[in-house]
Amino acid sequence: MADPIIEARGLNTFYGSSHILRNVSFRVARGEAVGLMGRNGMGKTTLIKSLLGLVPVRTGTVQVAGQALVNAAPYRIARAGVGYVPEGRGIFPTLSVIENLVMAARPGVDGRRDWTLERVLETFPRLAERRHHGGTQLSGGEQQMLSIGRALMTHPDVLFLDEATEGLAPLIVAEIWQIIGRIRASGIATVVVDKNFRSVLQATDRAVVMVKGEVALESPSARLLGDPQALQQLLGV
């Protein structure tokens, strides 16, 4: 496997006295697309937030591009090359589309500026049409596109997308998956969480399935897609 951009080992995370992540190890290689899968409440979002410094880790290690960053401030992890599209999108409702995008813009770790404002608007024509609209004037799908576009303006080496298409209309869902494919093709590593397991497996190289806060299975995505017994056992689908 190529050099990791993210490598975590032995993560244990608690919410109060509740033990959520149990000795979880997780790795993402540069340029790799990983599907993070599991039923609701199995620890997927907690894992992402633990990696991003948004939830404290009790024990374990996290390295981002070789830097030891367990429990580091989220801004330090972001500046190390990590982008995040959170569940709920997290856009600024009182800012325009352009303002949401520009406020996040910064060069990548290596100084690159590939994802200019013009490129993001070209990638998301709906946002270009609504460039002066406020965040609250956008549909759910447009808000998701804005959240992805804002993350791309930070020039990440790895992009986490939590619940990438939740609550969106089918046509918008199809458009989001096409965009995720284009991001993957650009060389950015991706970690995708979504309830549509088939779309996740078709859009990724490798799948990591979580059960009750532990990694229950790691598999090439194509192999898991062709294993209905494992899908039924682990995901109930």
Return d(Cα 164, Cα 151) in angstroms, integer: 13
- Pair type for strands 18-29 and 33-37: unpaired
Return d(Cα 216, Cα 210) in angstroms, integer: 5
Task: Give the contacts of 213 (CB within 8 A, at least 6 positions apart).
Answer: 19, 20, 21, 22, 24, 42, 43, 46
Place of tokens 């619940």: 163
Place of tokens 């990590």: 82
pLDDT of residue 237: 57
Which helix (H) or strand (E) segment holds residue 80: the answer is none
Query: In terms of C-beta distances under 8 Å and separation of at least 24 residues, what long-range contacts does 164-168 make, across chains too?
Result: 164/85, 164/192, 164/193, 164/194, 165/194, 165/196, 165/199, 166/87, 166/194, 166/195, 167/140, 168/140, 168/141, 168/144
Place of tokens 């290596």: 110
Give a three-class secondary structure readout of 7-57. EEEEEEEEECCEEEEEEEEEEEECCCEEEEECCCCCCHHHHHHHHCCCCCC
* Residues in a beta bridge with 192: 35, 161
pLDDT of residue 88: 83
Going from the first residue of the chain to its last (237 residues), give the mean pLDDT of each consecutive group of 10, the final group possibly shorter.
Answer: 89 96 97 95 96 97 96 96 91 94 93 93 95 93 94 96 91 93 94 94 96 96 93 82
Count Cβ atoms below 10 Å from residue 129 Cβ, excluding itself: 12
Q: Residue 140's closest CA among 161, 165, 162?
A: 165
Mind listing the domains of the chain with CATH numbers?
4-235 (3.40.50.300)
- Pair type for strands 206-211 and 214-220: antiparallel
